[in-house]
Amino acid sequence: MKKQKTTGTKKQFKSQQNTFLENKEKFILACLMILTCLAFAPQLSNNFVNWDDDGYIYNNPEIQSMSAHNIAYFFNPKTFIQGNYHPLTMISFCIEYHFFKVNPLVYHLDNLLLHLMNVLLVYFILKMLTKNNELSLITALLFAIHPMRVESVAWAAERKDVLYTFFFLLSLYYYLIWKKAAKMNHYVASIVLFICSILSKGQAVVLAPVLLLIDYYMQQKMDKKLILEKIPFFVIALISGLITMSAQGASLAGYTGVKLTILDRFLVANYGLMMYLYKLIIPLNLNCFNSYPAHIDGIFYIAPIVVLALFIVLYVFGKRSKEIVFGAAFFIVTISIVLQFLPIGDAVIADRYTYIPYLGLFIIMAYAFTKSSIMVKTVGIGVCIVFVALTFNQTKVWHDNKSLWEQVLNNNPENNIALSNLGQYYFEGQQPDIAFDYFTKAIQSKPDYFIPYFNRGNIHFNKGHYELALADFTNALRYKKDFPIGHRHRAVVYSTMGKIDLAIADLDSAIKIDPNYFDAYQDRSGLHQRKGENELAKADAEKCAQLKPINNSPAAPAPQVVPKF
């Protein structure tokens, strides 16, 4: 009887202990959520910026309908928005627009909420994988507050980062459950969530090799079953990779204007790897855009030596812990596809590319923290406080176009993208003379960059300088031939100068590039009518009626500054 009472008391004590630990965990995670919200608090008062927010959200008519036709359009493998295939990201914007139109608070809030959910997923995945609560918590903390997170979270258009990561981590979570419970519904859920991640951003393809790293950490035996269960993931990754390469090739091939050899690509990749490691420790002088240098020299040749030295250090220390090996391999695998071995844009490095990859390095840092002395841990806590402050300040930089692009110019005064977009900011603010100077500086910085020519042409046109406007539009089209709005705006100039046939030829070109270009049909209809070509005018008017309801806008409105391409 006594024994039963003692046993009951032990069970009760154990139950109370478990409840205490669960409540302690909830309290700690709640504190982590609050700290993350504080770090990103300025985000909720930020506006949109003219860096893809325009093309994705506030100047994008494609998100203004939740129709079945529009949803099917986003899922079409040939539909590339801003050079990317990410239908679920676009649908998320559609949903927000449907209920809240273009209120920036909603878009920023949703990004932050997704980031918070990602932080929780990081914690629970690592807790399940490593069975080390302290390592899991420190990793989640670093993932939550590191300043290199800001671009992915505070940039409304970068929804694709936080959204693909959400599905990516959920897929890993269900994969780990599958490994423990071996229930087919968990395996299927992991595959479906992987597809959702890929449909949010192509960078998610790296999940397939990451699963092999999970198996390594769990000390799974490499047998036929292990290989077969990975085949669906790798097939999906291959298909997505082909679509992504098609999208990037269609919109960004040769966009940098920098001719790079195979050796140059190798040097650029090593430079990127070195800089990502540097920014992990010293996340200062962050930019939303880090352009390629005019020449590959200097530090680019030093980078491979630095990277090799780091690998040697990693090898020496890595033998002591599978956490270090796993974290390093996770980082290398996930960052490899954005190291510019193949051109995927005009930025040599980008903060947003580290959103998932840094998770591997955070695991190493967290592991080192758990093994450190009290003094080192105290320093680590101080570093985290500094990270929160830096994240808070960097989030404020994304408040508007002025603060965003001025930061870039502070670090790189010759950056043509920053000069052009700051010019657009002043143009939209009804300060065309200041805008004109920025567009001219952008042209001087990179003479083959088409956007500042186009935007400066708009200013010339509005001032009645038609010959100068014509020259700028022609230069824009020289460097960007598949530019329908450029053809249309030059057509407006030709029409104003009385050169109707040349105007019609430009509108023909615009329509050939974009067969659904409503404004071009409308303008061409008016010009055919001016020439007395009534049948042609009628045909274009009928096409307008098919595309969207007729409105009262003028046939040939004055050109305006267009969004960044």
> Closest Cα partner for 356 from 248, 156, 202?
202
Inform me whether the pLDDT recorded for 261 exceeds 90: no
Distance CA 480, CA 257 (A): 12
Q: What is the pLDDT of residue 444?
A: 94
Least confident of 92-96, 155-159, 245-249, 492-496: 245-249
> What tokens were used for 7?
């046993």
pLDDT of residue 352: 95
Confirm if 94 and 65 have CB atoms less than 8 A apart: yes
pLDDT per residue as tens digits for the range 245-260:
776 655 544 444 556 7
Q: What are the structural domain ranges in the chain?
A: 1-39, 40-401, 403-547
User: Tokens representing 210?
Assistant: 């990451």
Q: What is the percentage of the chain residues whose pLDDT exceeds 90?
A: 67
Closest C-alpha among 430, 429, 426 to residue 439: 426
- Please state which of the ranges 165-174, 311-320, 458-467, 518-527 shows the lowest mean pLDDT: 311-320
How far apart, in whole angstroms, are the C-alpha atoms of residue 296 and residue 307?
A: 17
pLDDT given for residue 14 in this prediction:
58
The structure tokens listed for 251 are 């919109």
Mean model confidence pLDDT for the chain: 88
Q: Give the fold, CATH level 3, of 403-547.
A: 1.25.40
Whole-angstrom distance, CA of residue 394 vs CA of residue 408: 12
Among the residue ranges 20-24, 146-150, 476-480, 539-543, the one predicted with the least confidence is 20-24
Residue that the structure tokens 């005018």 belong to = 537
Of 238-247, 265-274, 420-429, 471-480, the least confident: 238-247
164-200 confidence digits (pLDDT tens): 999 999 999 999 999 988 789 999 999 999 999 999 9
CA distance 546 to 551: 13
Question: What is the sign, positive or negative, of the torsion defined by CA atoms of 517, 244, 203, 181?
Answer: positive
Antiparallel, parallel or unpaired: β 347-349 and 290-291: antiparallel
- Write down the H helix ranges in 40-158: 53, 68-75, 87-100, 104-130, 133-145, 150-154
User: DSSP H helical segments within 148-254, as ranges?
Assistant: 150-154, 159-181, 184-198, 207-217, 224-228, 231-252
- Rounded to 5 degrees, what are φ and ψ at 46? -75, 155
Confidence at 556, pLDDT banded by 50, 70, 90: very low
Q: Say which range, 344-358, 386-400, 458-472, has the weakest mean pLDDT.
A: 344-358
228 is written with which tokens? 């077969």
Distance between CA 337 and CA 203 in Å, rounded?
Answer: 8
Per residue in 21-70, pLDDT (tens digit) is 678 888 999 999 999 999 999 999 999 998 899 889 998 888 998 888 88
Question: pLDDT at residue 320 above 80?
Answer: no
Query: Residue 563: pLDDT band by 50, 70, 90 thresholds?
Result: very low
Question: What pLDDT does residue 67 have?
Answer: 86
pLDDT of residue 10: 60
Sequence-separated contacts (24+) of 365-368 with Cβ below 8 Å: 365/138, 365/139, 365/142, 366/134, 366/135, 366/136, 366/137, 366/138, 366/139, 366/142, 367/135, 367/321, 367/323, 367/324, 367/327
- What does each C-alpha distance from 223 to 153, 172, 175, 226, 505 come to in angstroms? 40, 20, 17, 5, 64
Reduced to 3 states, what is the DSSP secondary structure of residue 290?
strand
Q: How confident is the model at residue 315 (pLDDT cuts 50, 70, 90)?
A: confident
Give pLDDT, residue 2. Answer: 54
